[in-house]
Amino acid sequence: MIAVIRYSAGNVLSVMNALARIGKDAVLTDDPAVISKADHVIFPGVGEASSAMQYLREHRLDEVIKGLRQPFLGICLGMQLMCSSSEEGDASCLGIFPEHVTLFPRDRGYKIPHMGWNSINGLSGPLFNRSSNGEYVYFVHSYYVPLSEHASAMTEYDGFSFSAALSKDNFHGVQFHPEKSGEAGERILRSFLEDL
């Protein structure tokens, strides 16, 4: 069973639709018991970090997520919430990855949010078994995770490099939206669901 975590964040239904397109049935749930028993767990999201973390804590999903041992994939805000903290709302997050989520520098003239298709490179780990360096995926975000030892993919926004994906043990995260990234995104979802 695939569990897609429902919480106070948008974009959940597009993930459900993407899974259906590749022939995968999933359950949309915020029930800790269902999430704990799932074979794979997906944690999508578009929204604001501090309010999302508040929902997770109120529903005791923060502790459930940190205790999972099955393959886990955070998407966009989901990946950011897996880090230690975020500048967005000065949020204390899940702490799975010891990284701080930061707003793109305003003094460099970057358009915020970063939105559009960018190539990913430096691919490593099983999440990218079916992918190739240079493939294009779709991003929409104002905050980023710096490059670190846990980065399993990177991208550049006007010459500024940051983590496009993170990986540690059974936990994986992608800053981009595989559900909106066409065939490249479908390959990543299949790798997560079929190779992990």
- pLDDT tens-place string over residues 141-187: 999 999 999 999 999 988 889 999 999 999 999 999 999 999 999 99
Residues 29-37, mean pLDDT to the nearest whole number: 96
Query: Out of 88, 99, 135, 179, which one is annotated catalytic?
Result: 179
**What pLDDT digit, counting tens, does each position of 62-89 carry?**
999 999 999 999 999 999 999 999 999 9
Q: How would CATH label the architecture of 2-195? A: 3-Layer(aba) Sandwich (3.40)
Eight-class DSSP state of 191: I
Task: Tell me the percentage of the chain whose pLDDT exceeds 90.
Answer: 89
177 in catalytic set: yes
Collapse the DSSP code of 175 into the 3-class scheme (helix H, G, I; strand E, B; otherwise coil) and give the result. coil
Helix (H) / strand (E) containing 143: strand 143-144
What distance in Å separates the CA atoms of residue 50 and residue 179, rounded to the nearest whole number?
Answer: 24
Query: Out of 40, 114, 141, 177, which one is annotated catalytic?
Result: 177
User: How many residues are there in the chain?
Assistant: 196
Residue with tokens 């919430």: 81
Q: What are the start-end ranges of the E strands in 23-142? A: 26-29, 40-43, 72-75, 83-86, 91-92, 97-103, 114-119, 136-141
pTM reported for the whole predicted model: 0.96
Query: Out of 76, 83, 99, 172, which one is annotated catalytic?
Result: 76
How many Å separate Cα 29 from the centre of its chain?
Answer: 17
Domain-wise residue ranges, the chain: 2-195
pLDDT over 90 at 27, yes or no: yes
What integer pLDDT is reported at residue 8 of this predicted model? 75
179 in catalytic set: yes
83 in catalytic set: no
Q: Label residue 111 exposed, middle or buried (CB < 10 Å: 0-12, 13-18, 19+).
A: exposed
Task: Tell me the percentage of the chain whose pLDDT exceeds 70.
Answer: 99
Collapse the DSSP code of 163 into the 3-class scheme (helix H, G, I; strand E, B; otherwise coil) and give the result. strand
